[in-house]
Amino acid sequence: MEERVSDVPDENSKLLTDIQIQLARIEKTLEVVPTLATALESVREIARSADQSTKSAHHRLDMLHTAKDIAEDALRKAEAALATQRLQADDQKWFKRTFYGVIIAAAASGIVAAVWAAIKLGGV
C-alpha cells in the first residue's frame, strides 16, 4: 500500500497542475473580454450613426419624390403654355397677313383708280 499512497499525491499534483494550466488558458482567453466590450460599444455607436444616416437619407428621398412631382407638374404646365404661345403666334401671322393684304389691296386699288382717273382726264 505504500506505493499506492505515494502515487496519489503525484496524481493530485498532476491534476492540480492540469487545473492551473486550464485556468491560465481561461484567464488568457478572458483578457480579450474588456477589449471586446470596448469594440462592441464602438460597433453600437456606428450602428446608431448608420441608422440615423439611413433615416435622414430616406427623408431626403421622400423630399426628392415630392420635388419630382412638382417638377413634372411644372413641365406639363410649361409645355401647355408653349403650345398656347404657338397657337397665338399662328393667329398673329394670320392677322398680320390679312391686315397687310387689305392695305396692299387698298393701295393697289388706289393706284388703279388714280391711273384710271388720269386716263379719263387725259383722254377727254
Residuewise pLDDT in 10s, the chain (124 residues): 445 555 556 788 888 898 999 998 888 888 888 888 888 888 999 999 999 999 999 888 888 888 889 999 999 999 999 999 998 888 888 888 898 999 999 999 999 999 998 888 887 5
Quote the CA–CA distance of 57 and 5 in Å, as a whole number.
77
Quote the CA–CA distance of 55 and 63 in Å, as a whole number.
12
Nearest Cα neighbor of 45 from 34, 56, 53, 33 is: 53
Name the pTM for this structure: 0.41
What amino acid is encoded at 62 in this protein? D
In angstroms, the Cα distances linking 98 to 78, 90, 91, 105, 112 are: 30, 12, 11, 10, 21
